[in-house]
Amino acid sequence: MANILITGGAGFIGQNLVHTWRKTRPDDRLTVIDAMTYAANITSLEPLIESRQINLVKGSITDGALLRDLFDQHQFTRVAHLAAESHVDRSIEDPEAFLTTNVLGTFALLKASLDFWRANKLLEQSRFLHVSTDEVYGSLSAHEPAFCETTPYRPNSPYAASKAASDHLVRSFEVTYGLPALITNCSNNYGPYQHPEKLIPLMIIHALEGKALPIYGDGSNIRDWLHVSDHCEALIAVIERGHVGETYNVGGGNEQNNRNVVGLICETIDRAFAKDSKLKDRFPACPAADDRSCRSLITFVTDRPGHDHRYAINATKLANELGKRCSVDFAAGLEQTVRWYIENEAWWRAIISGSYRTWIEKNYGNRSAV
């Protein structure tokens, strides 16, 4: 049994990690801290909160005093650090917020962890897992080998730069102060509870509502898609069995360009409507309700600045050292994800209002069709 702190636990990957941790390690005591920004959602966590299976704290990781109080109260020996601003487009509009959370927040958490573990002689038995992104490595051409743990950093967006800086901070605390830290760099996640600003849920929801499916540029940008359940299982393996001071890349082994991903989403929704006539009444604006393909909604818009062409992850180290390999096939995982958003309409309808609508209009409304 261990006392666990999960930062950003009300976010997409965070809440999936909470559920995976609760299921696989039921005796551990979990505390979740989250600033509850626009991307947070505790709907899926409410049963765990009400039954006191987790302790939820609303607060920022930049609040050093709060972090010290939490460590004193709960005696954490495991920290899974997922709290971050994570949307590239938003980082282009407001880079300062990304530096504040991703760099200064990580520093505050590192210091609180180190101070508590040092004072209580817990360094040897504790672990600090910093969850990062493959975007720190920059962009690959079509024929370059996939990113490995020794690939030089070359971030191209304010988001990627802020995560690269936080990775370096974590490494420096391990080397200089002996903090028992590990780092993971993951590829693009998808699955349930993902905020509708990200590509896959955005396209699913827009298709169901009969709205345009905006694809940047010519849609040739390639990502390695990782189902969030595979990612969460890998994170637990790393924090429990990984070697302190090491980095582990976590990838899905599913390279797809954006054009193909959106096409697969359209085909999956088309099939779902063909099998279930009730969907036509629930989503009458969807082209599939009139037996037309959702592909008719696809539109290509002006590319975003500094758009990385390709990401790909070599996860051999994770497989060889910890025996973790991703098991979710992309087509099957995408079909499950589409079905989840269809079945959880109330969840996303509560999100796509107000500030979210303003954001969509700001980010896509001024991009001309190409």
Q: Taking the CA atoms of the chain, what radius of gyration do you get in angstroms? A: 20
Residues shown for the chain: 370
Sorted by sequence, the CB contacts under 8 Å of residue 69 that are 6+ apart come out as: none
Q: Would you state the pLDDT for residue 366?
A: 62
Q: Would you state the pLDDT for residue 358?
A: 76
| H/E stretch holding 140 | none
The set of catalytic residues is 134-135, 159
d(CA 234, CA 325): 8
d(CA 239, CA 267): 38
Q: Would you state the pLDDT for residue 326?
A: 93
- Which residues in the chain come in under a pLDDT of 50? none
Q: Give the CA angle between residues 114, 117, 119 to the nearest 5°.
A: 100
To which residue do tokens 């393909």 refer? 293
Whether this prediction's pTM lies above 0.85 is answered by yes
For the residues of 71-120, what is the DSSP string, one character each? HHHH--SEEEE------HHHHHH-HHHHIIIIIIIHHHHHHHHHHHHHHT
Give Dmax over CA atoms of the chain in angstroms: 66
pLDDT digits 0-9 by tens, 259-313? 999 999 999 999 999 999 999 999 999 999 999 999 999 999 999 898 999 999 9
The three-class DSSP label of residue 142 is: coil
Query: Which residue in 35, 40, 9, 38 sits closest to 22, CA to CA?
Result: 9
Which amino acid makes up residue 230? D
CATH class held by domain 3-195+225-256+310-329: alpha beta
Question: Could you tell me the sign of the dihedral formed by the alpha carbons of 250, 255, 260, 266, in that order?
Answer: negative
Q: Would you state the pLDDT for residue 365?
A: 65
| H/E stretch holding 284 | none
Query: Which residue in 272, 290, 287 sits closest to 341, CA to CA?
Result: 272
Residue 164 in contact with residue 153, Cβ under 8 Å? yes
Copy the structure tokens of residue 334: 């995408």
d(CA 329, CA 61): 35
Sorted by sequence, the CB contacts under 8 Å of residue 291 that are 6+ apart come out as: 274
